[in-house]
Amino acid sequence: MDMLHYEKEAWTAGLFFIAGIDEAGRGPLAGPLVAAAVAFDREPLENSGIGLFAGLTDSKVLTEKKREIFYKQLKSCPFVRIGCAIIEPAVIDEINILQATWRGMAEAVAQIAPLPDLALVDGNPVRGLPCKSRNIIKGDAKSLSIAAASVIAKVTRDRLMAELDSEFPAYGFAQHKGYGTKAHLAALRRHGPCFHHRKTFRPVAELNQGELNL
């Protein structure tokens, strides 16, 4: 798979500054949603980017060590521009996870200057972006720009969950990153939800109503 296939299509259409957008943390019961946008300058990307970022793909299939390596490369690369937005659980509860995802993606890409000509978005179409967009199903495994955004979002969120783990060690956030594992649900039963839990997500909402069966 040519990881620049969709970028090249955009370039051919006269859209030269392309960003990839992805998120991490839609499904967990606790912690923020993190959205990231990554844009490469075209010329250095074509000349050296593929070699420099060889192996960069969907963050979920990379090892933690590989994610950290690519994260550091992206953050230090002179021809990479990055936007990152953090949407806290209280906002997710207020506006719902879909709206929170759209808000995070819009905020992330808006941080990139100049504003991209086109944003390639992982998954389904997104409303409210400040630039043109094209959604690509499983785009994090098909577009280098989206793969880069997936790494930024994933590593950023994992680090935030490690920080929450030191603040609330009873829940094991560093291990499960807020997802609804057996260990996390058991901790919820013992301790109840904390400030960083999403109160509208079903297991947490049921616990608040005294209905969580584990």
Are 35 and 101 within 8 A, CB to CB?
Answer: yes
Backbone φ and ψ of 2, nearest 5°: -75, 110
Q: Is residue 188 part of a domain?
A: no
The H or E element spanning position 181 is none
Residue-range definition of the domain harbouring residue 113: 5-169
Query: Encoding tokens for residue 65?
Result: 């060590």
Q: Is residue 22 part of a domain?
A: yes
DSSP string, 103-145: HHHHHHHHTSSSPPSEEEEESS--SS-SS-EEEETTGGGT-HH
Confidence (pLDDT) at 214: 38
Residues in the chain: 214
Confidence (pLDDT) at 116: 98
The series of mean pLDDT values per 10 residues for the chain, 214 residues long, is 93 96 97 98 86 93 97 96 98 98 98 97 97 98 97 98 96 97 95 95 80 42
Confidence (pLDDT) at 140: 97
Confidence (pLDDT) at 210: 52
Q: Is residue 210 part of a domain?
A: no
Q: Is residue 149 part of a domain?
A: yes
CA distance 182 to 187: 9
pTM equals: 0.94
Are 59 and 140 within 8 A, CB to CB?
Answer: yes
Beta-carbon contacts of 107 under 8 Å, excluding residues fewer than 6 positions away, are: 35, 83, 85
Q: Is residue 34 part of a domain?
A: yes
Query: Encoding tokens for residue 48?
Result: 């050296």
- Rounded to the nearest 10°, the torsion over CA 193, 179, 68, 108 is -80
Q: Is residue 190 part of a domain?
A: no
The one-letter code for the residue type at 41 is D
Q: Is residue 98 part of a domain?
A: yes
Q: What is the CATH number of the domain that holds 10?
A: 3.30.420.10
Beta-carbon contacts of 118 under 8 Å, excluding residues fewer than 6 positions away, are: 10, 15, 17, 18, 19, 131, 132, 133, 134
Confidence (pLDDT) at 66: 97
Confidence (pLDDT) at 206: 86
Place of tokens 């390596």: 69
Confidence (pLDDT) at 212: 43
CA distance 210 to 202: 12
Sequence-ordered alpha helix ranges (H) in the chain:
5-12, 42-44, 50-52, 64-76, 89-95, 97-110, 144-167, 173-176, 182-191, 202-208
Confidence (pLDDT) at 104: 98
Report the chain's terminal Cα–Cα distance, integer Å.
43
Q: Is residue 208 part of a domain?
A: no
Are 196 and 87 within 8 A, CB to CB?
Answer: no
The number of distinct structural domains making up the chain is 1
